[in-house]
Amino acid sequence: MTRYVQHGLKVKSKPDEIARQNFMLNMRSYVMLDMAMGMKKIYDNNIEPNFKKLNKRKPKNGDEIHKTIKKDTYFKFYSSIRCNAQEMVFRSVIPPIERSMIDLKKKAKKLSTSKKANGSLKIDKKLTIPKSVSALDVHLMPGCYHSEHSENDLTQGALYDNGVSVFSMGFFGEKLDDIGSSISLFIKKKYPKFKPVRILDLGCTVGHNTLPWNKVYPKAEIHAVDVGAPVLRYGHARAQSEGISVHFHQQNAEKTNFENNSFDLVFSSMFLHEVPKKGIKQIIREAKRLLKPGGLMLHMELPPNKMLDAYNSFYLDWDSYYNKEPYYKTFRDMIPEKVCSEAGFSKNKFVQFIIPSIGQFGEEEIIKSVNSQNGNVDDRTGRFTKGIHWYCFGSWK
Amino acid sequence: MSENDNKLRYSVRGKKSRFFESDGVDELVSICMSIAQELWVVKEELALLKNLTLEKGLLTKKELENFKFTVKQKTELDNENKDFIDRVFFTLRESVESVDSNHDEPNPPPIP
C-alpha cells in the first residue's frame, strides 16, 4: 500500500479526494506497466515484422520506431491515457492543497525556527527564471516549479510533493527519496575513503533526494539550489520537519555564487533532462568549478540512448514529445563521457553506475552491486517497473 | 496578491498533445477517464461506508471523514481497483490478446 505525504507538511484530503488519488495511482500503474507491456507485445508481433517486410531490416533507432508506431491505435490509446493520467494526477491533489495554502505557510514559518534542525533558506527575488522553467508547465504540472500565488508561497512545492507521491506509484519510496538513498549508500560503500565535508544538490526541487545524503554522511554540510522559490520554501520546511539541516538557495545551477573548489560532492537527480543542451554543458562546467580537487560530480539521470536498444530508446523518449519535457531526448542523445570531458574533466576520471533501488532490493543488493557493475542497462533502468535500477554518471576532479 | 486569490490553475498551459485523427476522440478519452475516476470515487466511498458500518454499527459525519482503511482493506481495494480499470479498458487488453490469435483466424467472406 502506498502512503502519500506523511511529513510535517502533510495536507488533509477528504475521502472522495483520496479515492481520486488512489484511482490515479492505479491508473498510472495500468498504463505504465500493463499497457506498456501490451504495446511492446504489439510492437514485437506486428509493428517490427511489418517494418522488416517493408524495409528488409529492423528499425535502427527509437525515432524510426516512433514514426511507425504512432499510427497504431494501441499506441494512440497508450499515449492519450498516459497524458490524461499525468494531468489528472496533479488535479487530484490540488483541492486539498488549495484549502491548506495559508496553513502550509504557517507551518513552514514555524518549522523554519524549529530546533530539530539548523537549515536555512535564501531566496533571491531578483533571480531570472530560465525559459526552460518559466515558459512551460514541465511534465504537465500546472504552474511548474516557480509560480507564486501569494507572498512567501510554497504551494508549487506542495503540488510537486503530493503529485509525485501519487505519480510514482510507490517506486520513489514513501519519502520520494529512493534515488538519493540508493545512490548515496552505493557511493559510501564503493568509496569508503571518500568522506565529503560539503555537498551540493543542483535542481533540488523539494529536496527529497537531497536529504538521504545526511544519513550516509551525517557530518557533511549540505546545500541545495533550485530556481523555483516555492519548491525551495517547501523543501526547507520539509527538511526541518524531518530534523535534517540543509541550506537551500534560490540560484541557477548554471551559474551559482559559491566559491571555486568549495564542494566535495556535487549531485543532481532527474534534473539535467529538463535543461536545454547549452545549459547542461554549462552546469557540468559549473560543477567542475565548484568541486575541490579529488571531489566527485554525480548526476542521476535516464540512461543515454546509446546504451539502449531501439525500442527502449523510443519508449523513454516518449516524454520528450508528449510530457512537456522538450529537452529530454536532446539530453539522452548526448554522450555523458563526452559532455564531462568537454567540460574539462579527465577522461579517465569518468564514472557511471547502474544501482538497484533500495526500496525494491534492499541495502544488501546495493552493497553487492558495488563490485558487480557491468555497464549494462536493460528495460528496468530508469523505468517504473518491477526491479527498477537508477543510472548515474559523473566524474572525479 | 491576496490570500483570497489562492486558487491554483488546474489546466496545463500550451498546446495539448493529440493522438487521434478523428475529431473528438482525444476529448472522449479524457471524458471516459474522468467518468471512470468518478465511478471509482463512488465505489471507494461505498466500500468505506460498508466497512465503517460493519465496524461501528452506526455512522456520524466525524466518523465518516476520519475513517481510514486498514492496510488489508486498502490492499483489497487496490486489487479491486486494478480489476475495475481492466474492465473499463477491456477493449485495449483484447487488442493485445488478439495479436496471438490473428494468424489462425479464417477470413470472413468478402464484404459485398
**List of chain B residues whose C-beta atoms are within 8 Å of the C-beta of residue A41:** 96, 99
Q: Is residue B4 part of a domain?
A: no
Does B1 score more than 50 pLDDT?
no
The model's pLDDT over A80-138, given as tens digits with 9 standing for 90+, comes to: 999 999 999 999 999 999 999 999 999 999 998 888 889 999 999 999 999 999 999 99
How much is the ipTM here? 0.74
What's the CA gap between A155 and A68, in Å, rounded?
41
Residue A386 or residue A333, greater confidence: A333
Confidence of residue A178 (pLDDT cuts 50, 70, 90): very high
Contact criterion met (CB < 8 Å) for A83 and B17: yes
Task: Name the pLDDT band for A383 (thresholds 50, 70, 90).
Answer: confident
Q: How far apart are CA A322 and CA A133, in angstroms?
A: 16
What is the distance between the alpha carbons of residues A35 and A264, in angstroms, rounded to a whole number? Answer: 43
- Mean pLDDT on A48-69: 96
Q: What CATH fold (topology level) applies to the domain A1-397? A: Rossmann fold (3.40.50)
B72 in contact with A, Cβ within 8 Å: no
| Whether residue B3 has pLDDT greater than 70 | no
Q: Report the domain count for chain B.
A: 1
Asked, for residue B39, whether it belongs to a domain, the answer is: yes
- Nearest CA-CA distance, residue B50 and chain A, Å: 14
Q: Is B10 contained in some domain?
A: no
Q: Pick the residue of B18, B28, B37 with the most A CBs within 10 A to test the interface with A by mutation.
A: B37
Examine residue B106 and state whether it is found in any structural domain, yes or no: no
Q: What pLDDT does A58 receive?
A: 96
Alpha carbons B85 and A319: distance in angstroms, whole number: 23
Tell the burial category of A348 from Cβ atoms under 10 Å away from its Cβ (0-12, 13-18, 19+): exposed
Query: Cell 511507425 sits at which residue?
Result: A68
For chain A, domain boundaries? 1-397
pLDDT tens for A158-171 read 999 999 999 998 88
Answer yes or no: do A77 and B64 touch at CB < 8 A.
no
Residue B81 lies in domain? 25-99
| Distance in angstroms between the alpha carbons of the first and the last residue of chain A | 43
Q: Is residue B11 part of a domain?
A: no
How large is the C-alpha radius of gyration of chain A?
Answer: 21
Kindly determine whether residue A149 and residue B34, on different chains, have CB atoms separated by under 8 Å. no
Mean pLDDT of A73-77: 94
| DSSP per residue, A55-115 | HSS---SHHHHHHHHTTSHHHHHHHHHHHHHHHHHHHHHHHHHHHHHHHHHHHHHHHHT-T
How confident is the model over B29-41, as pLDDT tens digits?
988 988 898 899 9
Residue in chain A closest to B14 (alpha carbons) equals: A136
pLDDT at A297 over 50: yes
Q: Name every residue whose Cβ is closer than 8 Å to that of residue A262 and which is 6 or more positions away in sequence.
A: A198, A290, A292
Amino acid in the structure at residue A255 = K
Residue that wins the pLDDT comparison between A33 and B16: A33
Q: Which of A10, A14, A80 to mutate to test the interface with B (most CBs of B within 10 A)?
A: A80
